[in-house]
């Protein structure tokens, strides 16, 4: 049965954040709110977390996972950002964008796309997520909480708790979230390609 923790959307309580981080260090899989709906998340070092996310979402091994970062400095340690992408990524972050880029040796091979050796990265513009990342001190392995047969991420914590009570370990409640997923931009070939039009303005990359 999943734990259900309330966090203040503007001033997340440090004591509750510490409980979430302790659960993550115990290899918990969490459902948490972002600036583009709910997401599933776990520590990068959680070997089972990746497989649990794939199972919940009904995805195969070709799925691009996302590493959710606190800032551009952290993002730059995980992916190779060439000069053509640097300014555009800096201008679009934090915000509701996911960028697919070649991974650095810092990213475990099991999290990279099997053939392309790429991974998704993003810096959310969300108070609770930023507070959680600061307390955790490392990026989160993540994926939008879009269930099989659906096209939009879940937005209500209590609904997720009811439906996924036995497949996630913890659900964070922090008020309403948008129902639109991130805009996904693949920049792995040196030029931007919009793979999914979402909450972020895709026109700046087209």
CB neighbours of 170 closer than 8 A, spacing ≥ 6? 2, 3, 4, 5, 20, 23, 28, 29, 30, 31
Strongest mean pLDDT among 110-114, 171-175, 176-180: 171-175
* Alpha-carbon span 85 to 205, nearest angstrom: 10
pLDDT tens-digit readout, 137-148: 999 999 999 999
For residues 148 and 9, is the Cβ–Cβ distance under 8 A? no
Does residue 48 register a pLDDT over 90? yes
More confident of the two residues 121 and 189 = 121
Other Cβ atoms closer than 10 A to 70: 21
Q: What is the average pLDDT across 87-109?
A: 95
CATH superfamily for domain 3-205: DHBP synthase (3.90.870.10)
Does residue 84 register a pLDDT over 90? no
Q: What does the pLDDT read at residue 179? A: 83
> What residue segments make up the domains of the chain, in order of their start?
3-205
Number of H helices, E strands in the chain: 6, 10
Does residue 114 register a pLDDT over 90? no
């Amino acid at each position: 049965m999943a734990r259900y923790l309330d966090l203040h959307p503007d001033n997340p309580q440090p004591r509750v954040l510490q409980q979430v981080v302790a659960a993550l260090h115990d290899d918990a899989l969490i459902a948490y709110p972002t600036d583009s709906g709910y997401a599933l998340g776990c520590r990068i070092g959680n070997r089972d977390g990746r497989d649990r996310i794939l199972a919940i979402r009904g995805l195969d091994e070709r799925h691009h996972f996302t590493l959710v970062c606190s800032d551009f400095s952290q993002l730059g340690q995980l992916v190779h950002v060439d000069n053509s992408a640097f300014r555009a990524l800096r201008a679009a972050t934090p915000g509701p964008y996911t960028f697919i880029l070649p991974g650095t040796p810092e990213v475990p091979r099991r999290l990279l796309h099997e053939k392309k050796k790429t991974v998704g990265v993003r810096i959310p513009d969300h108070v609770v997520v930023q507070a959680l990342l600061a307390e955790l001190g490392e990026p989160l392995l993540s994926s939008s909480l879009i269930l099989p047969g659906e096209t939009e991420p879940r937005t209500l914590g209590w609904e997720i708790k009811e439906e996924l009570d036995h497949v996630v370990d913890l659900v964070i409640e922090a008020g309403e979230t948008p129902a639109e997923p991130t805009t996904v931009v693949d920049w792995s070939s040196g030029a931007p390609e919009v793979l999914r039009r979402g909450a972020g303005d895709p026109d700046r990359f087209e």
